[in-house]
Structure 1
Amino acid sequence: MTEGVFILPKKPAAVIAVGGRVSWDNAAHQCDAPGAGLYPVGVAVEAAGNGASTVTVRLDGVSTAAA
């Protein structure tokens, strides 16, 4: 899938606000806030704070290289 809204695993320490950009950490197989070496995948449709193990993300459908 490249578009739609999905509940994805998230790095527990990451804090992502509603509308915040979400990236994929391919080594850890989970979402994180944007950063070097991570792949931008979309935006959060719900806040996911410290300790949360998932984040609800609207995928943007754009294939990108790691930041």
Structure 2
Amino acid sequence: MSMMDKLKNMLKGHEGQVGKGVDKAGDQVDKRTHGRHRKQVDTAQERLKDQPGRDSGQRREPPAQP
């Protein structure tokens, strides 16, 4: 079992707390970069929030572009 699999197993059931942590980290990045990379940070936050609830074999479709 890889380290990522172990981390995912530990985080299962705590998606709400993971989401809060991801939001907080993204806000810090936005603050330190003065919002220059906000779009990329938002995309990373969305993808990270989806990770804990997924099995390693599942694939996620990219979000539709508005």
Q: TM-score, normalised by structure 1?
A: 0.21
Q: Could you say which structure has the higher strand fraction?
A: 1
Larger Rg: 2
Could you say which structure has the higher helix fraction?
A: 2
After TM superposition, the score normalised by the length of structure 2 is 0.22
